[in-house]
Structures are given as structure tokens and as C-alpha cells.
Amino acid sequence: MASMTHSSLPLVFLCSLFYVIFSSFCDCKSVSSITIDSLRASLVKQEDFIVFSLIERARYPYNSFAYDPSFLGNQNCSFVELFVRESEAMEAKFGRYQNPEELPFFPDYKQPQLAPPHKFPNILHPPAASVNISRKIWDMYFNDFLPLFTKKSADGNYQQTVASDLICLQALSRRIHSGRFVAEIKFRDSPQNYTPAIQAKDSETLMKLLTFASVEEAVVKRVFKKAEIFGQNVNLGKNNVKGVESRYKVEPSVASKLYQEWVIPFTKQVEVDYLLRRLI
């Protein structure tokens, strides 16, 4: 067989070669550029969206119909669960879960069919990447958190209500499960700090190693400030509109409580669970 010169290489092969070299370069660059600072910057941006999501959910009252499994009659789950299951199945078809940052609440979906494959940078250690506390997030959100910032009434906007719930849930899940990435970076930066406790399966010591009280305090304060800023009613002074209430759309103390009582502890639980599987 005659050897091929560069000039005789088919265009499609050249394109594939370029794609492989280019995408590998991108991955190396992306992975190597992920630092604890860049991760923290991403978490800070996610806070904004979590606060926006709460404000949006607070536009609707509690709408209890959506959460009582008995309401749908012969269905085996609540209106909100059915909506989330169907939404996630559709989102999976459109490729949402190609991105390792996204975890579904009901992960029994087919592979994506419609979006082109994309090589997301994935730095996670495979046996630890499956850490998943979605069920716990779900229960916390509906049982403990939602009643704190919604009015006890109904307005018939059930679909809009559960769609807002799903946006809140997805934002919280992405934030909390980012603990996997945080734990991986911390472990890579100084494996010697974590290895003895991992080998001893010592969750308590790992939790201590991962706890920085001053950082956590700053996060809680910043979330409070964001809820104050994003949840205020913005007026031009002279143009005050009648009928717009003056108080915050979501109480800043409720937003900061979300972080203090659940988001931060859950994230640290994900970090500990991840590290416990880091040497498998």
C-alpha cells in the first residue's frame, strides 16, 4: 500500500485529527486551570442564581395541590414528582446530563439523542464521582425549606409553581454536588493531608479538615446581602409605583438560613463522602 503524503490526506481525516488535537488541548487546559479559586468563583456566581430562583418561586403561593400524592388519583406520585420526572427525561434527551456538574433527581433516563457529544472537562475520580445526595436535597427542600418562604394559599398556577421548584432544586443540587469538585481539587493539592483519615474511614476528621468557619460565615453573610440587594423593590424615587410592596421578596434571613443549615453542611457531606471513595 502506498504511503500517504500530507497533501493526499482526505479532508475529513484532517478535520478529525485537528478535532482530536484541539479538543485534547482544550481539556488539558480546562482541567489544569481548575483551581480552588476558580471553583469558589463559580460557587459565588451560583449563589446569585439560587437567590434569583427563590425570588421567582416566591411569586407563587405554596399551592399544596402540587405536593400531595393523593391528588393525582391513580398516579403513584405527586404532581411535582411527575413533572420533575417528565422534565428530566426530556432534558436528558436534549443532552443536559452530558455535563458532569448536572445530576438528575430520578436518574433512569436513556442516553442523550439530540445534542452533539461535547467533551466536558471531568476531573472527578470515577469511583467517587457517583456520590449523590439528591434524595436528601429533595426532602429538605419540600419538607423544611419551601414552607418558610411561600404564602399558605393557592392560585392555580400549578405548572409554573413546580417549574420554579425544579429550577430551585437543580440550582441547589448543582451547588451542593460541586462539593465533589472541591474535594477533588483539595485532595490533589495536598493528598498527604487527607490520606490517613480516608484510609481510617474517619469521617469526623475529614469533616474537620474541610471546615473553615470564617469562610462559611462569609458565605452566609454574602447570601444575606444578595437576598437584600436582589430582593429589593427598585424604584426611581419619584416614580414609586402604587401597589408594589416595600419589603423584600424573600426574607434575607431565610436565604442565609438555607445556606447555613443546609447548603453548606450538605456540600461538606458530599466532600466527605467523595473523599471516602477517593482511594478506591
Q: Please give the residue ranges that form the binding site for its own copies (CB under 8 A).
A: 37-38, 40-41, 44-45, 48-49, 52, 55-56, 59, 65, 71-72, 79, 82-83, 86-87, 90-91, 94-96, 98-99, 102, 114-116, 118-120, 155-160, 162-163, 218, 221-222, 225-226, 229-230, 232-236, 239, 241-244, 249
CA distances (Å), 85 to each of 43, 94, 113, 230, in order?
26, 14, 18, 30
Q: How wide is the angle at C-alpha 118 spanned by C-alphas 91 and 9, nearest 5°?
A: 145
- Quote the least distance from Cβ 146 to its own copies, whole Å: 18
Nearer to its own copies, 83 or 141 (CB): 83
What is the DSSP secondary structure assignment for residue 66, as one 8-state letter? G
Nearer to its own copies, 159 or 211 (CB): 159
Element containing residue 193 per DSSP (H, E): helix 191-199
- Quote the least distance from Cβ 205 to its own copies, whole Å: 27
- Quote the least distance from Cβ 101 to its own copies, whole Å: 9
What is the DSSP secondary structure assignment for residue 259, as one 8-state letter? I
- Quote the least distance from Cβ 133 to its own copies, whole Å: 21
- Quote the least distance from Cβ 250 to its own copies, whole Å: 12
Q: How wide is the angle at C-alpha 136 spanned by C-alphas 71 and 90, nearest 5°?
A: 60
Nearer to its own copies, 60 or 266 (CB): 60
- Quote the least distance from Cβ 38 to its own copies, whole Å: 5
Burial letters 200-216, b for 16+ CB under 10 A, else e: eeeeeebbebbeeeeeb
Tell me the three cell numbers of residue 257.
Answer: 438560613
Nearer to its own copies, 64 or 143 (CB): 64
Q: CA 191, CA 202: separation in Å to the nearest integer?
A: 15
Nearer to its own copies, 49 or 203 (CB): 49
- Quote the least distance from Cβ 56 to its own copies, whole Å: 6
Nearer to its own copies, 13 or 94 (CB): 94
Nearer to its own copies, 211 or 240 (CB): 240
What is the DSSP secondary structure assignment for residue 279, as one 8-state letter? T
Q: In the Cβ-directed half-sphere of 89, how many Cα atoms lie within 13 Å?
A: 7
Closest by CA position to 68, among listed 130, 142, 2 = 142
The helix/strand/coil state of 4 is coil
Q: CA 68, CA 107: separation in Å to the nearest integer?
A: 22
